[in-house]
Amino acid sequence: MSAPAKSPAPGAPPGRGALRRNLPSARRFLAGRKRVLVRLGGWSLLESAQTFLGGYCLAQALDRGFLAGQTGTGLLWLAVAAASILGAGPPMRGVFTQLAELTEPLRDALVRRAVRQALRRAVTDPARTDDRADTGAVSRLTHQTEIVRDSFAGLVLTVRAFVFNAVGALIGLLALAPELLLVVLPPLVLGIALFLATLLPMASAQRSFLDADEAVAEGVGAVSGGHRDLVACGAQADAAERTGRLIDVAERTSRVLARWAALRTVALGVAGQLPVLLLLVSTPWLLRQGVTTGALAGALTYLLQALLPALHSMMTALGAAGTRLLVVVDRFQDATAAPAPPKVPDPDLGPDLDMVAEAVPPRGRHPSRTVPAVEVRAVTHAYGPDSPPVLEHLHLTVRRGEHIAVVGPSGIGKSTLAGVVSGLVAPDHGTVLLGGEPVTGATAQDLADRRVLIPQQAYVFTGSVRDNLLHLRPDATSGELSHAIRVLGAEPLVHRLGGPDAVLDPRGLSHGERQLLALCRAYLSSAPLVLLDEATCHLDPAAEARAERAFAERAFTDGARARDGALIVVAHRLSSTRRADRVLVLDGTTPRFGTHEELLTSSALYRDLFGHWQHTPPPAGS
């Protein structure tokens, strides 16, 4: 199942924290383009002059022209205003030219960052580079970079237009009559202040809404992708409950977002409509103060044709594009966080969740009492700094020669545990030992010599059947190859393909056939530890049972013990637990580890899962 929506760090609202995280980068970006900003400001000053002339010329046309009986003078002032409008073309062309000098480098920088993130994730977390690889990187590289570019360009245009229109309008009001500023300025400032006060909470609410929405999508996707696990484990009710909680969170965050949007609308009304209303109401007083009719008309022109449209555009852009820009850019920032290095656990923590159960020996085995095959010590791992851990302070000991099954609902952390034990996923805290040697710092070859992991999606390449089967151990003899094929029941498949030396086309294989060849390859490996991460999910129950028994008894051709190794099976069917020596039940709270009979008594989840099976006759061969 998907983790719940991310939450900000304590004491730091997401909007404010996002602003702090991205402000240094924004400053560096703008500081490197001071000349572009100066040229942009220079072209915009011409727009301020046009705004100033629009209202001032109308006032003079009325007071000195038409109302004074001087029609020619009035027309001359209107001609000056018209000329300023016709001359707006070149300044706007200059504005858009400089705008491109800001937005395109920003987009290029974000594309480079997205590529670096994807490469870093592929290197540091190779366990996730499968069919469901980092699709977020694709979104950042394409859709989200375009969102940032378009939002940034819109913000620059609208904020620039408001600032320079406001400069021209306020200078014009001051030139016409200072009393006009006493009426217009207070509600304008109040509305803008109220609007700015909503920006960071609005960004916080929007980010929470997006996180909740993504959590719902991921949760539903996990349920859809893991429906076989849910049915096999009988966890449909639990999955429905978890998905319902995610939907409830999304509903609450949408309500919060709607409330902040309503408050922003109030701020827009105060700043956008109240100045006009107050100007009309104050007209008698202004006339008594000597303000002329032309000055009043010019003030209305400034408000209705310049200042208030620009203010409305800026508030709309900041409220929508601005918060969206902050949230999306912050996602680039989040994605650059490097995974935390594994840390050695504090021995004083104690085994409060110790899963070691040394009292019960494996059935029918006599394992070595020396160094365990696997030791997991206080391991904690989460897939993000704000995500809840999928494994939390987990202790686990697997003895040599032991067969372990891992069960639990889909998404609970079974594959994560397999990745941690195999060394493909670095835990946030804790340590993992294979044969007494730490996984941390081991080279890829060292890990390959100590363990072999077969995931659900089996890898088969174009080449001969022999090349595929000997991929992990090229020096295996023909007898060992024949034994692996025979013990895993792959003889009919190899015969149909044309024998070991036949050329293999992966496109002509089913998922089950791919898995069977990958199991043969793992069986021939020299690694003592075998991890099957739902590696038999496409096989029928009889073939699955045969494969698990073969790995549990894996031996050299001389019949010696299976290299003193161990087998860990992430179970696709609960029948796997009946073949295991012990079973690890992951339930997200308190994991349980013991034999099948012990867990039926000690684990309510295991009883519920197995209740769907205990009265049903097992399939043939299981």
pLDDT in tens, 219-263: 676 666 555 434 433 445 656 777 788 899 888 998 988 888 888
What is the reported pLDDT for 124? 55
CA 560 to chain centre: 48
CA distance 331 to 114: 10
Range with the lowest mean pLDDT among 216-220, 375-379, 591-595?
216-220
What is the reported pLDDT for 238? 59
Do the bridges between strand 429-434 and strand 582-585 make them parallel or antiparallel, or are there none, so unpaired?
unpaired
Higher pLDDT, 317 or 570: 570
Share of the chain above pLDDT 90, in %: 15
Are the C-beta atoms of 187 and 268 separated by less than 8 Å? no
> What is the CA angle 317-107-210, rounded to 5?
55
Tokens of 459: 């890898």
DSSP collapsed to 3 states, 117-161: HHHHHHHHCHHHCCCCCCHHHHHHHHHHHHHHHHHHHHHHHHHHH
Range with the lowest mean pLDDT among 122-126, 136-140, 363-367?
363-367
What is the reported pLDDT for 179? 92
pLDDT at residue 191 is higher than 80:
yes
pLDDT, average across residues 115-119 = 75
Mean pLDDT of the chain: 77
For residue 470, the 8-state DSSP code is T
- Measuring CA to CA, how many Å separate 492 from each of 34, 171, 498? 72, 90, 10
CA distance 423 to 493: 32
Higher pLDDT, 559 or 426: 426
pLDDT, average across residues 132-137 = 51
State the pLDDT confidence band at 281, using cuts at 50, 70 and 90: very high
Tokens of 78: 């209107």
Are the C-beta atoms of 406 and 417 separated by less than 8 Å? yes
Report the DSSP beta bridge partners of residue 221: none
- In single-letter form, the type of residue at position 391 comes to L
Most confident of the ranges 310-314, 448-452, 495-499? 495-499
DSSP notation for 258-327: HHHHHHHHHHHHHHHTHHHHHHHHTHHHHHHTT--HHHHHHHHHIIIIIIHHHHHHHHHIIIIIIHHHHH
Are the C-beta atoms of 180 and 173 separated by less than 8 Å? yes
What is the reported pLDDT for 335? 45
**3-class state of residue 70 by DSSP:** coil
Residues 6+ apart with CB under 8 A from 14: 8, 203, 204, 207, 208
Q: Kindly report, residue by residue over 337-370, the tens digit of the pLDDT.
A: 443 333 333 333 333 333 333 333 444 444 445 7
pLDDT at residue 568 is higher than 80:
yes
Range with the lowest mean pLDDT among 129-143, 248-262, 365-379, 527-541?
129-143
What is the reported pLDDT for 224? 66
pLDDT, average across residues 279-295 = 92
Are the C-beta atoms of 345 and 429 separated by less than 8 Å? yes
DSSP notation for 388-439: PPSEEEEEEEE-TT-EEEEE-STTSSHHHHHHHHHTSS--SEEEEEETTEES
pLDDT, average across residues 272-283 = 89
CA 259 to chain centre: 26
Range with the lowest mean pLDDT among 61-70, 124-133, 443-452?
124-133
DSSP notation for 83-96: HHHHTTHHHHHHHH
Range with the lowest mean pLDDT among 31-35, 181-185, 449-453, 540-544?
31-35
pLDDT at residue 40 is higher than 50:
yes
Residues 6+ apart with CB under 8 A from 175: 52, 56
Among 568, 569, 557, residue whose Cα is nearest residue 373? 568
pLDDT, average across residues 457-468 = 83
Among 5, 16, 4, residue whose Cα is nearest residue 327? 16
pLDDT at residue 549 is higher than 50:
yes
Q: Kindly report, residue by residue over 366-405, the tens digit of the pLDDT.
A: 444 578 889 998 888 888 777 788 888 888 988 888 898 9
What is the reported pLDDT for 367? 42
pLDDT, average across residues 158-172 = 88
Cα-atom radius of gyration of the chain, to the nearest Å? Answer: 35
Among 27, 9, 5, residue whose Cα is nearest residue 18? 9
pLDDT, average across residues 69-76 = 91
**3-class state of residue 345 by DSSP:** coil
- Measuring CA to CA, how many Å separate 541 from each of 228, 407, 476, 513, 548? 14, 17, 29, 14, 11
What is the reported pLDDT for 2? 36
pLDDT at residue 106 is higher than 60:
yes
pLDDT, average across residues 457-483 = 87
In 3-state terms, the chain is what percent helix, strand and coil (to 5)? 60, 10, 30
Range with the lowest mean pLDDT among 32-46, 84-98, 201-215?
201-215
pLDDT, average across residues 605-611 = 77
Share of the chain above pLDDT 70, in %: 78
